Amino acid sequence: MPKNQNRREFLQNLGTLSIAAGAGSALPFLTQPASAKKPSVSVKEGRTLKIFNGQIITPYRTIKNGTVVAVDGIITEVREGNIDVSGAEEIDANGLYIAPGFVDLHVHGGGDHDFLDGDVNAFLRAAETHASHGTTSMYPTALSGDVQTLLENLDIYEEATLQNDFGAQFQGIFLEGPYYSMEQRGAQDPRFIRDPDPEEYKEILSHSSAIKRWDSAPEREGALEFARYLVSQGVLPSMGHTSAIYEEVLTGFENGYTLATHLYSGMLGVTRRDAYRYAGGVESAFLIDEMSVEIIADGKHLPASLLKLIYKIKGPDRIALVTDAMRGAGMPEGDSILGPRDDGLEVIIEDGVAKLPDRTSFAGSVATTDRLVRTMINMADVPLTEAVRMMTATPASIMNINDKKGSLVAGKDADIVIFDDDILVEKTIIGGNVIYSR
């Protein structure tokens, strides 16, 4: 969808308040739809929350001295000025930014826990860690492994979702592999790399409705059929860890691979086959205007020059910032483990990234979502509003949850983060409940 159309639709939903409107002008009052889904965190019925005296960030502008009102965990009003709300619990933002909660499409763990540790506590503690950095929605991500372990983890995810009252909300599972290019597998276990197997993936998808996205290399035999089946089941196919060239990527896109996983990482750039050069996955993502990309904007996996290039070519409506964080996110530097605690890879965290012990290669991200926004502003010279959009509205749109998440609009969930000029999180609010306060 063209950016201007996105903007028109957003402003129609938000109201036609002029950017130049004076104090006291108000957005139209919209009530909560009768069908609005309740947040997973508990909300006292009839409870009203008022956040005032803050700079409200929308996907396209900032409302100075604004107020957000939520009832029963759903936003009911977004206004300029400080308005009277009878009986409301009030939060004075003290001039800080009021933004939509951050949406992380790709995350493996945090707080010294990994989603493959095999217990509910790992899900809950990792979710709490990332919530303290502004994440309100996340997609726990599983690496390639044996099918039985995966099915067990899907069951653990379901149980953890029911208990997750104090962390970022789980929106579904992202399966990263195992249908990948062996040459671009990265940290994926080579024992499990293979072509898509219809019997296998249909069994997995029938086991749980929690799977919302599944990654594959589109050039693998059976990968196009796999993508079409995912689409038929309401699951997003994404392209990652691939050796595909442009012609293969384009065919993959036409069959459903509309998102490129951690652009530049685990995919070819320009490559030679015999005497001829071919565009790889990176160039293909640039050439296909409608393809969205996710990037690990931790300032380590991609330098400032590439962050600027991606932003210049794809724009904020096609870029989702992701942490791709392992258990070391939110932890001090030192020894850690990539993957499950009992049989993962020993790594060392230093300089804001996980490395192999011999320091010959990165071994995972330890980023948090606030850091991603900060990096895009400070390293890539991206305006605050657009950096936030890539962490909120764009990922929500990619995963088709933008009817409830990703922007501060009446009728959407009251998932809110309050932060200062340095993107240091003051409060994280999910479903109208403060779950973190600095």
pLDDT string in tens for the chain (438-residue length): 444 444 444 334 433 232 222 233 333 223 333 333 333 344 456 799 999 999 999 877 899 999 999 999 999 999 999 999 999 999 999 999 999 999 999 999 999 999 999 999 999 999 999 999 999 999 999 876 788 888 999 999 999 999 999 999 999 999 998 998 767 777 667 777 889 999 999 999 999 999 999 999 999 999 999 999 999 999 999 999 999 999 999 999 999 999 999 999 989 888 888 889 999 999 999 999 999 999 999 999 999 999 999 999 999 999 999 999 999 999 999 999 988 888 888 999 999 999 989 898 888 899 999 999 999 999 999 999 999 999 999 999 999 999 999 999 999 999 999 999 999 999 999 999 999 999
C-alpha–C-alpha distance, residues 66 and 55, integer Å: 6
User: Does residue 178 have a cis bond before it (omega within 30 degrees)?
Assistant: yes
Q: For position 258, what pLDDT does the model report?
A: 98
CA-CA distance, 285 to 348, in Å (whole number)? Answer: 32
- The CATH class, in words, for 3-100+409-437 is mainly beta
Looking at this protein, which amino acid is placed at residue 58?
T
Q: Which residues contact 282 (CB under 8 A, 6 or more apart)?
A: 263, 264, 267, 268, 269
In terms of CATH, what superfamily is 102-398?
Metal-dependent hydrolases (3.20.20.140)
Q: What six digits make up the tokens of 296?
A: 């690990």
List of residues 6+ apart from 46 with CB closer than 8 A: 71, 72
d(CA 187, CA 189): 6
pLDDT score recorded for residue 45: 61
And the tokens for 91?
Answer: 């939060």
CA 142-375-296 angle, to 5 degrees, is 25
Q: Where are the domains of the chain?
A: 3-100+409-437, 102-398
Residue 188's pLDDT is: 67
What is the reported pLDDT for 180?
Answer: 83
Residue 238 has a pLDDT of 97
The residues near 104 (Cβ < 8 Å, ≥ 6 apart) are 130, 135, 137, 138, 139, 168, 322, 323, 369, 395
- Looking at residue 9, its pLDDT comes to 45
Which residues lie below 8 Å from residue 378, measured CB to CB, with a gap of 6+?
none
* The token pair that represents 344 in the structure block: 């993962």
- What is residue 187's predicted lDDT score, i.e. its pLDDT? 65
